[in-house]
Structure 1
Protein backbone atom coordinates (compact mmCIF):
# COMPACT_ATOMS: atom_id res chain seq x y z
CA UNK A 1 0.00 0.00 0.00
CA UNK A 2 2.22 2.79 -1.30
CA UNK A 3 -0.37 5.42 -0.33
CA UNK A 4 0.46 4.82 3.33
CA UNK A 5 4.18 5.14 2.55
CA UNK A 6 3.58 8.48 0.84
CA UNK A 7 1.68 9.75 3.86
CA UNK A 8 4.43 8.44 6.13
CA UNK A 9 7.11 10.31 4.18
CA UNK A 10 5.11 13.55 4.17
CA UNK A 11 4.52 13.36 7.93
CA UNK A 12 8.22 12.85 8.63
CA UNK A 13 10.99 15.43 9.00
CA UNK A 14 11.45 17.12 5.61
CA UNK A 15 14.54 16.30 3.59
CA UNK A 16 15.80 17.33 0.17
CA UNK A 17 15.34 13.75 -1.07
CA UNK A 18 11.72 13.72 0.10
CA UNK A 19 10.98 17.01 -1.67
CA UNK A 20 12.54 15.68 -4.89
CA UNK A 21 10.26 12.63 -4.67
CA UNK A 22 7.03 14.69 -4.54
CA UNK A 23 6.21 14.30 -8.28
CA UNK A 24 6.53 10.52 -7.87
CA UNK A 25 4.35 10.68 -4.76
CA UNK A 26 1.59 12.42 -6.70
CA UNK A 27 1.72 9.73 -9.37
CA UNK A 28 1.60 6.92 -6.81
CA UNK A 29 -1.39 8.42 -4.99
CA UNK A 30 -3.33 8.76 -8.23
CA UNK A 31 -2.31 5.37 -9.62
CA UNK A 32 -3.15 3.39 -6.47
CA UNK A 33 -6.46 5.18 -5.99
CA UNK A 34 -6.85 4.51 -2.25
CA UNK A 35 -7.35 8.22 -1.70
CA UNK A 36 -10.22 9.71 -3.68
CA UNK A 37 -9.53 12.86 -5.68
CA UNK A 38 -11.04 15.20 -3.02
CA UNK A 39 -8.76 13.69 -0.37
CA UNK A 40 -5.72 13.99 -2.65
CA UNK A 41 -6.53 17.66 -3.13
CA UNK A 42 -6.33 18.13 0.64
CA UNK A 43 -2.62 17.29 0.45
CA UNK A 44 -1.83 19.68 -2.41
CA UNK A 45 -1.25 22.78 -0.22
CA UNK A 46 1.45 20.88 1.69
CA UNK A 47 3.05 19.54 -1.50
CA UNK A 48 3.10 23.02 -3.00
CA UNK A 49 4.53 24.46 0.20
CA UNK A 50 7.28 21.86 0.38
CA UNK A 51 8.32 22.26 -3.24
CA UNK A 52 8.30 26.05 -3.08
CA UNK A 53 10.21 26.61 0.15
CA UNK A 54 13.76 26.51 1.45
CA UNK A 55 14.59 23.16 3.00
CA UNK A 56 16.10 24.64 6.18
CA UNK A 57 13.06 26.84 6.74
CA UNK A 58 10.75 23.86 6.25
CA UNK A 59 12.77 21.80 8.71
CA UNK A 60 12.72 24.59 11.30
CA UNK A 61 8.95 24.96 10.90
CA UNK A 62 8.51 21.20 11.30
CA UNK A 63 10.51 21.21 14.55
CA UNK A 64 8.49 24.10 15.95
CA UNK A 65 5.21 22.44 15.02
CA UNK A 66 5.72 18.83 15.96
CA UNK A 67 8.77 18.60 18.21
CA UNK A 68 8.33 21.72 20.33
CA UNK A 69 4.52 21.90 20.46
CA UNK A 70 3.31 19.11 22.69
CA UNK A 71 -0.32 19.39 21.62
CA UNK A 72 0.86 18.62 18.05
CA UNK A 73 3.05 15.67 19.00
CA UNK A 74 3.36 13.00 16.32
CA UNK A 75 3.34 10.32 19.00
CA UNK A 76 -0.14 8.80 19.19
CA UNK A 77 -0.14 7.91 22.88
CA UNK A 78 0.87 11.42 23.89
CA UNK A 79 -2.68 12.47 23.06
CA UNK A 80 -4.53 9.80 25.04
CA UNK A 81 -2.19 8.87 27.89
CA UNK A 82 -0.15 12.03 28.47
CA UNK A 83 2.22 11.33 31.37
CA UNK A 84 0.27 8.32 32.64
CA UNK A 85 2.16 5.10 33.31
CA UNK A 86 -0.22 3.44 30.86
CA UNK A 87 1.68 5.17 28.08
CA UNK A 88 4.74 2.98 28.58
CA UNK A 89 2.68 -0.22 28.52
CA UNK A 90 0.83 0.97 25.43
CA UNK A 91 4.22 1.42 23.73
CA UNK A 92 5.17 -2.14 24.62
CA UNK A 93 1.88 -3.49 23.28
CA UNK A 94 2.23 -1.67 19.97
CA UNK A 95 5.83 -2.81 19.57
CA UNK A 96 4.68 -6.39 20.17
CA UNK A 97 1.97 -5.94 17.56
CA UNK A 98 4.63 -5.00 15.01
CA UNK A 99 6.86 -7.90 15.99
CA UNK A 100 4.00 -10.42 15.89
CA UNK A 101 3.51 -9.41 12.26
CA UNK A 102 7.20 -9.93 11.56
CA UNK A 103 8.29 -6.27 11.48
CA UNK A 104 10.81 -4.39 13.58
CA UNK A 105 11.33 -0.71 14.21
CA UNK A 106 14.50 1.22 13.77
CA UNK A 107 15.92 1.40 17.29
CA UNK A 108 15.78 5.21 17.27
CA UNK A 109 12.00 5.29 16.83
CA UNK A 110 9.15 4.88 19.30
CA UNK A 111 6.33 2.56 18.18
CA UNK A 112 3.64 5.23 18.29
CA UNK A 113 5.45 7.71 16.02
CA UNK A 114 2.88 8.41 13.31
CA UNK A 115 5.24 8.15 10.29
CA UNK A 116 6.48 4.75 11.56
CA UNK A 117 2.89 3.61 12.26
CA UNK A 118 1.89 4.58 8.71
CA UNK A 119 4.80 2.70 7.22
CA UNK A 120 3.83 -0.40 9.18
CA UNK A 121 0.30 -0.03 7.78
CA UNK A 122 1.74 0.21 4.26
CA UNK A 123 2.87 -3.39 4.67
CA UNK A 124 -0.55 -4.71 5.71
CA UNK A 125 -3.58 -5.59 3.52
CA UNK A 126 -5.62 -2.53 2.53
CA UNK A 127 -8.71 -3.35 4.62
CA UNK A 128 -6.65 -4.13 7.71
CA UNK A 129 -4.56 -0.98 7.28
CA UNK A 130 -7.63 1.24 6.97
CA UNK A 131 -9.18 -0.42 10.01
CA UNK A 132 -6.09 0.17 12.15
CA UNK A 133 -5.86 3.75 10.92
CA UNK A 134 -9.50 4.18 11.93
CA UNK A 135 -8.55 3.35 15.52
CA UNK A 136 -6.59 6.61 15.57
CA UNK A 137 -9.19 8.80 13.85
CA UNK A 138 -9.93 10.86 16.98
CA UNK A 139 -6.24 11.73 17.23
CA UNK A 140 -5.95 12.53 13.52
CA UNK A 141 -8.97 14.83 13.67
CA UNK A 142 -7.57 16.58 16.75
CA UNK A 143 -4.23 17.18 15.02
CA UNK A 144 -5.97 18.43 11.88
CA UNK A 145 -8.07 20.89 13.85
CA UNK A 146 -5.12 22.19 15.85
CA UNK A 147 -3.06 22.61 12.68
CA UNK A 148 -5.93 24.43 10.98
CA UNK A 149 -5.99 26.92 13.86
CA UNK A 150 -2.34 27.59 13.08
CA UNK A 151 -3.05 27.88 9.33
CA UNK A 152 -0.57 25.08 8.68
CA UNK A 153 -0.60 23.22 5.34
CA UNK A 154 0.01 20.03 7.32
CA UNK A 155 -3.66 20.13 8.34
CA UNK A 156 -4.68 18.78 4.93
CA UNK A 157 -2.35 15.80 5.34
CA UNK A 158 -4.17 14.72 8.50
CA UNK A 159 -7.57 15.37 6.91
CA UNK A 160 -6.51 13.03 4.12
CA UNK A 161 -5.59 10.36 6.69
CA UNK A 162 -9.05 10.74 8.24
CA UNK A 163 -10.62 10.25 4.81
CA UNK A 164 -8.46 7.19 4.18
CA UNK A 165 -9.53 5.62 7.47
CA UNK A 166 -13.25 5.90 6.54
CA UNK A 167 -13.95 6.02 10.28
CA UNK A 168 -16.00 8.34 12.46
CA UNK A 169 -14.78 9.17 15.96
CA UNK A 170 -16.81 8.23 19.00
CA UNK A 171 -17.69 10.97 21.47
CA UNK A 172 -15.95 9.16 24.31
CA UNK A 173 -12.78 8.85 22.23
CA UNK A 174 -12.73 12.57 21.50
CA UNK A 175 -13.34 13.28 25.18
CA UNK A 176 -10.29 11.17 26.10
CA UNK A 177 -7.92 13.40 24.12
CA UNK A 178 -5.43 15.27 26.30
CA UNK A 179 -6.33 18.96 26.21
CA UNK A 180 -4.19 21.47 24.37
CA UNK A 181 -1.84 22.92 27.01
CA UNK A 182 -1.63 26.22 25.13
CA UNK A 183 2.16 26.37 25.47
CA UNK A 184 3.88 28.12 22.58
CA UNK A 185 6.97 26.50 21.00
CA UNK A 186 9.13 29.53 21.84
CA UNK A 187 8.35 29.31 25.58
CA UNK A 188 11.43 27.24 26.40
CA UNK A 189 10.99 27.34 30.19
CA UNK A 190 7.45 25.98 29.99
CA UNK A 191 8.49 23.36 27.46
CA UNK A 192 11.30 22.12 29.70
CA UNK A 193 8.83 21.75 32.57
CA UNK A 194 6.20 19.73 30.71
CA UNK A 195 8.62 17.37 28.98
CA UNK A 196 9.92 16.02 32.31
CA UNK A 197 8.69 12.43 32.01
CA UNK A 198 9.63 8.94 33.04
CA UNK A 199 11.73 7.04 30.54
CA UNK A 200 9.78 4.60 28.39
CA UNK A 201 11.45 1.20 28.46
CA UNK A 202 10.99 -2.00 26.54
CA UNK A 203 12.21 -5.49 27.24
CA UNK A 204 11.91 -8.38 29.69
CA UNK A 205 10.99 -6.12 32.59
CA UNK A 206 7.92 -4.72 30.88
CA UNK A 207 4.53 -6.32 31.43
CA UNK A 208 2.82 -7.95 28.48
CA UNK A 209 -0.71 -7.54 27.21
CA UNK A 210 -2.81 -8.89 24.39
CA UNK A 211 -1.96 -7.47 21.00
CA UNK A 212 -4.08 -6.94 17.92
CA UNK A 213 -6.74 -4.57 16.65
CA UNK A 214 -8.88 -4.65 19.78
CA UNK A 215 -5.89 -4.12 22.07
CA UNK A 216 -4.61 -1.26 19.95
CA UNK A 217 -8.02 0.35 19.93
CA UNK A 218 -8.24 0.05 23.71
CA UNK A 219 -4.89 1.74 24.14
CA UNK A 220 -5.79 4.53 21.76
CA UNK A 221 -9.06 5.06 23.62
CA UNK A 222 -7.16 5.12 26.93
CA UNK A 223 -9.23 2.22 28.22
CA UNK A 224 -8.26 0.21 31.28
CA UNK A 225 -5.57 -2.33 30.56
CA UNK A 226 -6.34 -6.05 31.16
CA UNK A 227 -4.54 -7.58 34.11
CA UNK A 228 -2.46 -9.76 31.86
CA UNK A 229 -2.58 -10.98 28.30
CA UNK A 230 -0.92 -13.50 26.08
CA UNK A 231 2.62 -13.12 24.82
CA UNK A 232 2.47 -13.06 20.98
CA UNK A 233 4.36 -15.77 19.10
CA UNK A 234 7.85 -14.98 17.88
CA UNK A 235 7.77 -13.81 14.25
CA UNK A 236 8.93 -16.20 11.62
CA UNK A 237 10.83 -15.52 8.44
CA UNK A 238 12.59 -12.38 7.33
CA UNK A 239 11.94 -9.28 9.42
CA UNK A 240 11.47 -5.93 7.75
CA UNK A 241 12.84 -2.82 9.40
CA UNK A 242 10.16 -0.15 9.59
CA UNK A 243 11.69 3.31 9.36
CA UNK A 244 10.17 6.66 8.44
CA UNK A 245 13.33 7.63 6.54
CA UNK A 246 12.57 5.31 3.61
CA UNK A 247 11.08 7.00 0.58
CA UNK A 248 7.73 5.73 -0.76
CA UNK A 249 9.12 5.14 -4.25
CA UNK A 250 11.56 2.48 -3.02
Structure 2
Protein backbone atom coordinates (compact mmCIF):
# COMPACT_ATOMS: atom_id res chain seq x y z
CA UNK A 1 0.00 0.00 0.00
CA UNK A 2 1.15 3.54 -0.77
CA UNK A 3 1.07 5.03 2.72
CA UNK A 4 1.16 8.61 1.45
CA UNK A 5 -1.87 8.25 -0.82
CA UNK A 6 -3.78 6.66 2.03
CA UNK A 7 -2.71 9.54 4.28
CA UNK A 8 -3.83 12.09 1.66
CA UNK A 9 -7.23 10.41 1.48
CA UNK A 10 -7.59 11.01 5.21
CA UNK A 11 -6.14 14.51 5.16
CA UNK A 12 -8.74 15.63 2.62
CA UNK A 13 -11.67 14.01 4.41
CA UNK A 14 -14.29 15.85 6.45
CA UNK A 15 -12.68 16.73 9.80
CA UNK A 16 -13.70 14.69 12.84
CA UNK A 17 -12.33 14.22 16.33
CA UNK A 18 -11.11 10.78 15.30
CA UNK A 19 -9.27 12.31 12.38
CA UNK A 20 -7.76 14.95 14.65
CA UNK A 21 -6.45 12.28 17.00
CA UNK A 22 -4.78 10.47 14.09
CA UNK A 23 -3.40 13.62 12.45
CA UNK A 24 0.11 13.43 13.99
CA UNK A 25 0.58 9.97 12.48
CA UNK A 26 -0.97 11.01 9.17
CA UNK A 27 1.31 14.04 8.98
CA UNK A 28 4.37 11.98 9.90
CA UNK A 29 3.74 9.69 6.94
CA UNK A 30 3.50 12.63 4.52
CA UNK A 31 6.51 14.59 5.72
CA UNK A 32 8.64 11.45 5.44
CA UNK A 33 7.83 10.97 1.73
CA UNK A 34 11.06 11.62 -0.21
CA UNK A 35 9.10 12.02 -3.46
CA UNK A 36 7.99 15.43 -2.21
CA UNK A 37 10.10 18.57 -2.06
CA UNK A 38 11.11 20.01 1.29
CA UNK A 39 8.84 23.00 0.66
CA UNK A 40 5.87 20.74 -0.03
CA UNK A 41 6.53 18.74 3.13
CA UNK A 42 6.68 21.91 5.21
CA UNK A 43 3.31 22.95 3.81
CA UNK A 44 1.84 19.56 4.70
CA UNK A 45 3.30 19.77 8.20
CA UNK A 46 1.64 23.15 8.70
CA UNK A 47 -1.69 21.85 7.38
CA UNK A 48 -1.52 18.77 9.59
CA UNK A 49 -0.67 20.81 12.68
CA UNK A 50 -3.59 23.12 12.02
CA UNK A 51 -6.01 20.22 11.60
CA UNK A 52 -4.73 18.54 14.76
CA UNK A 53 -4.92 21.62 16.97
CA UNK A 54 -7.87 23.58 15.56
CA UNK A 55 -11.35 23.81 17.01
CA UNK A 56 -13.26 20.94 15.43
CA UNK A 57 -16.34 23.05 14.66
CA UNK A 58 -14.26 25.74 13.00
CA UNK A 59 -12.45 23.09 10.96
CA UNK A 60 -15.72 21.52 9.84
CA UNK A 61 -17.21 24.89 8.92
CA UNK A 62 -14.10 25.76 6.89
CA UNK A 63 -14.16 22.41 5.10
CA UNK A 64 -17.83 22.72 4.16
CA UNK A 65 -17.35 26.31 3.04
CA UNK A 66 -14.51 25.31 0.76
CA UNK A 67 -15.39 21.94 -0.68
CA UNK A 68 -19.14 21.47 -0.25
CA UNK A 69 -20.43 24.96 -1.02
CA UNK A 70 -18.35 25.64 -4.10
CA UNK A 71 -18.51 23.68 -7.32
CA UNK A 72 -15.23 25.23 -8.42
CA UNK A 73 -13.54 23.68 -5.37
CA UNK A 74 -15.51 20.44 -5.39
CA UNK A 75 -13.60 17.29 -4.46
CA UNK A 76 -15.90 15.37 -6.83
CA UNK A 77 -13.52 15.31 -9.78
CA UNK A 78 -16.07 14.72 -12.53
CA UNK A 79 -17.72 17.99 -11.53
CA UNK A 80 -14.76 19.76 -13.13
CA UNK A 81 -14.76 17.58 -16.23
CA UNK A 82 -18.41 16.89 -17.01
CA UNK A 83 -20.37 19.35 -14.88
CA UNK A 84 -24.04 18.45 -15.10
CA UNK A 85 -23.81 16.89 -18.56
CA UNK A 86 -25.39 13.50 -19.03
CA UNK A 87 -22.05 11.82 -19.76
CA UNK A 88 -21.10 12.38 -16.12
CA UNK A 89 -23.39 9.49 -15.18
CA UNK A 90 -21.75 7.04 -17.57
CA UNK A 91 -18.30 8.12 -16.39
CA UNK A 92 -19.42 7.44 -12.81
CA UNK A 93 -20.63 3.97 -13.73
CA UNK A 94 -17.32 3.20 -15.43
CA UNK A 95 -15.42 4.31 -12.34
CA UNK A 96 -17.54 2.11 -10.08
CA UNK A 97 -16.80 -0.86 -12.32
CA UNK A 98 -13.09 -0.03 -12.23
CA UNK A 99 -13.20 -0.13 -8.45
CA UNK A 100 -15.07 -3.40 -8.32
CA UNK A 101 -12.94 -5.13 -10.94
CA UNK A 102 -9.91 -4.28 -8.81
CA UNK A 103 -11.52 -5.75 -5.71
CA UNK A 104 -12.10 -2.35 -4.12
CA UNK A 105 -15.44 -1.77 -2.41
CA UNK A 106 -15.51 1.55 -0.54
CA UNK A 107 -18.10 1.98 2.20
CA UNK A 108 -19.24 5.57 1.88
CA UNK A 109 -22.05 7.93 1.11
CA UNK A 110 -19.75 9.94 -1.14
CA UNK A 111 -19.79 9.75 -4.91
CA UNK A 112 -17.17 7.42 -6.43
CA UNK A 113 -15.28 10.35 -8.00
CA UNK A 114 -14.80 11.99 -4.59
CA UNK A 115 -11.06 12.62 -4.34
CA UNK A 116 -10.53 10.96 -0.93
CA UNK A 117 -12.26 7.83 -2.27
CA UNK A 118 -10.11 7.81 -5.40
CA UNK A 119 -6.94 8.30 -3.34
CA UNK A 120 -7.86 5.42 -1.07
CA UNK A 121 -8.27 3.27 -4.17
CA UNK A 122 -5.00 4.44 -5.71
CA UNK A 123 -3.20 3.60 -2.47
CA UNK A 124 -3.92 -0.06 -3.24
CA UNK A 125 -2.74 0.03 -6.85
CA UNK A 126 0.74 -0.47 -8.35
CA UNK A 127 2.85 2.68 -8.17
CA UNK A 128 3.01 3.37 -11.90
CA UNK A 129 -0.72 2.91 -12.33
CA UNK A 130 -1.52 5.23 -9.43
CA UNK A 131 0.88 7.84 -10.79
CA UNK A 132 -0.67 7.65 -14.26
CA UNK A 133 -4.19 8.17 -12.91
CA UNK A 134 -3.03 11.12 -10.83
CA UNK A 135 -1.33 12.53 -13.93
CA UNK A 136 -4.65 12.31 -15.79
CA UNK A 137 -6.12 14.58 -13.11
CA UNK A 138 -3.14 16.98 -13.05
CA UNK A 139 -5.14 19.87 -14.49
CA UNK A 140 -7.82 19.53 -11.80
CA UNK A 141 -5.23 19.26 -9.03
CA UNK A 142 -3.52 22.40 -10.33
CA UNK A 143 -6.76 24.36 -10.52
CA UNK A 144 -7.76 23.34 -6.99
CA UNK A 145 -4.31 24.30 -5.72
CA UNK A 146 -4.47 27.72 -7.33
CA UNK A 147 -8.01 28.46 -6.20
CA UNK A 148 -7.18 27.41 -2.62
CA UNK A 149 -3.96 29.42 -2.65
CA UNK A 150 -5.98 32.42 -3.81
CA UNK A 151 -8.11 32.02 -0.69
CA UNK A 152 -4.97 31.60 1.43
CA UNK A 153 -6.17 28.16 2.50
CA UNK A 154 -3.59 25.77 4.00
CA UNK A 155 -5.34 22.98 2.08
CA UNK A 156 -3.50 24.25 -1.01
CA UNK A 157 -0.43 22.40 0.32
CA UNK A 158 -2.16 19.05 -0.21
CA UNK A 159 -2.68 19.78 -3.90
CA UNK A 160 0.87 21.02 -4.38
CA UNK A 161 2.07 17.69 -3.03
CA UNK A 162 -0.40 15.59 -5.03
CA UNK A 163 0.75 17.41 -8.16
CA UNK A 164 4.32 16.38 -7.37
CA UNK A 165 3.26 12.75 -6.94
CA UNK A 166 1.48 12.95 -10.30
CA UNK A 167 4.75 14.02 -11.91
CA UNK A 168 3.03 15.92 -14.72
CA UNK A 169 2.69 19.62 -15.47
CA UNK A 170 -0.86 20.33 -16.56
CA UNK A 171 -1.41 22.03 -19.91
CA UNK A 172 -1.59 25.77 -19.37
CA UNK A 173 -4.53 26.20 -21.73
CA UNK A 174 -6.61 23.59 -19.91
CA UNK A 175 -5.85 25.08 -16.51
CA UNK A 176 -6.65 28.61 -17.65
CA UNK A 177 -9.94 27.48 -19.16
CA UNK A 178 -11.02 25.96 -15.86
CA UNK A 179 -9.84 28.98 -13.89
CA UNK A 180 -11.88 31.22 -16.18
CA UNK A 181 -15.06 29.79 -14.67
CA UNK A 182 -16.47 32.22 -12.08
CA UNK A 183 -16.01 31.33 -8.43
CA UNK A 184 -19.13 30.14 -6.63
CA UNK A 185 -20.59 32.20 -3.82
CA UNK A 186 -20.79 29.97 -0.72
CA UNK A 187 -23.54 32.24 0.63
CA UNK A 188 -25.79 31.53 -2.37
CA UNK A 189 -28.21 29.26 -0.54
CA UNK A 190 -30.29 28.48 -3.62
CA UNK A 191 -27.23 27.12 -5.40
CA UNK A 192 -26.25 25.20 -2.29
CA UNK A 193 -29.69 23.60 -2.11
CA UNK A 194 -29.26 22.46 -5.70
CA UNK A 195 -25.98 20.77 -4.77
CA UNK A 196 -27.57 18.99 -1.82
CA UNK A 197 -30.40 17.73 -3.99
CA UNK A 198 -28.00 15.77 -6.18
CA UNK A 199 -28.33 12.02 -5.66
CA UNK A 200 -25.55 10.18 -3.85
CA UNK A 201 -24.14 6.77 -4.68
CA UNK A 202 -23.80 4.40 -1.72
CA UNK A 203 -21.46 1.42 -1.56
CA UNK A 204 -21.41 -1.41 0.93
CA UNK A 205 -23.62 -2.17 3.93
CA UNK A 206 -22.94 0.94 6.06
CA UNK A 207 -23.50 4.26 4.28
CA UNK A 208 -22.81 6.15 7.52
CA UNK A 209 -19.35 4.75 8.01
CA UNK A 210 -17.64 7.68 6.30
CA UNK A 211 -14.83 7.49 3.81
CA UNK A 212 -12.06 6.94 4.23
CA UNK A 213 -12.05 5.59 7.79
CA UNK A 214 -9.21 6.70 10.01
CA UNK A 215 -9.17 3.23 11.52
CA UNK A 216 -8.30 1.84 8.08
CA UNK A 217 -5.12 3.82 8.04
CA UNK A 218 -4.16 2.91 11.57
CA UNK A 219 -4.90 -0.80 11.30
CA UNK A 220 -4.38 -1.69 7.64
CA UNK A 221 -1.84 0.79 6.29
CA UNK A 222 0.98 -1.74 6.32
CA UNK A 223 -1.04 -4.70 5.08
CA UNK A 224 -0.52 -5.80 1.46
CA UNK A 225 -3.15 -4.66 -0.98
CA UNK A 226 -5.76 -7.14 -2.11
CA UNK A 227 -4.86 -8.66 -5.50
CA UNK A 228 -6.61 -6.84 -8.31
CA UNK A 229 -9.14 -8.65 -10.41
CA UNK A 230 -8.37 -6.50 -13.41
CA UNK A 231 -6.19 -3.56 -14.34
CA UNK A 232 -7.59 -0.06 -14.32
CA UNK A 233 -7.89 1.79 -17.58
CA UNK A 234 -6.29 5.21 -17.27
Q: TM-score range by the shorter chain?
A: 0.7 to 0.9
Relative distance call for 1:19 and 1:176 in structure 2 (3 A) is same
Alpha-carbon offset, residue 109 of structure 1: 2.4
Q: Which runs of 5+ in 2 are unaligned?
A: 203-208, 220-234
Distance 1:22 1:196 in 2: 29
In 2, Cα distance between the equivalents of 1:94 and 1:242?
Answer: 19
Q: Highest Rg: 1 or 2?
A: 1
- For 1:242 and 1:96, how far apart are their aligned partners in 2? 21
Aligned to 1:89: 90
| Distance in 1 between residues matched to 2:8 and 2:31, nearest whole Å | 13
Deviation by residue 1:137-182 (Cα, 9 ceiling, x = unmatched) = 1000000111111111101111111011111112454366385333
- Within 1, Cα distance between the matches of 2:196 and 2:33? 43
Counterpart Cα distance in 2 of 1:106 and 1:201: 10
Tell me the secondary structure at the aligned position of residue 118 of structure 1: helix
Contact 1:3 1:34 in 2 (8 A): no
Task: Tell me: CA distance 1:200–1:22, structure 2 relative to 1, closer, same or farther (3 Å).
Answer: closer
Question: Structure 1 residue 66: deviation in Å?
Answer: 0.6
Instruction: Kindly indicate whether residue 139 of structure 2 is the aligned counterpart of residue 120 of structure 1.
Output: no
Which residue of the partner structure matches residue 225 of structure 1?
Answer: none
Where does structure 1 lack aligned partners over 5 or more consecutive residues? 203-240
Does the alignment pair 1:246 with 2:214? yes
Tell whether the 8 Å contact from 2:109 to 2:201 is kept in structure 1 after alignment. Answer: no
Kindly state the Cα deviation for residue 77 of structure 1 after the two structures are TM-superposed.
0.3
Q: Deviations over 1:108-157 (max 9, x none)?
A: 22110000000001101222211111111100000011111111110111
Give TM-score scaled by structure 2 length.
Answer: 0.80
Q: 1:6 to 1:12 in 2, by over 3 A?
A: same
Preserved CA contact (<8 Å) 1:69 1:184: yes
Which residue is 2:169 aligned to? 168
Alpha carbons of structure 1 residues 142 and 100: separation in structure 2 relative to 1, 3 Å: same
Q: Please say if residues 75 and 115 of structure 2, whose CA atoms lie closer than 8 Å, have aligned partners that are also in contact.
A: yes
Q: CA deviation at 1:186?
A: 1.4
Task: Specify the alignment match of 1:192 in structure 2.
Answer: 193
The more displaced of 8-17 and 171-180 is: 171-180
- Cα distance between partner residues in 1 of 2:60 and 2:39: 27
Q: Provide the rounded CA distance (Å) in 2 between the counterparts of 1:20 and 1:58.
A: 14
- 1:35/1:163 contact within 8 Å kept: yes
SS of aligned partner of 1:105: coil
The Cα offsets for residues 162-208 of structure 1, whole Å up to 9 and x where unpaired, read as: 01111111245436638533331112134335x38775779xxxxxx
Contact 2:36 2:165 in 1 (8 A): yes
Question: How many pairs are equivalent?
Answer: 211
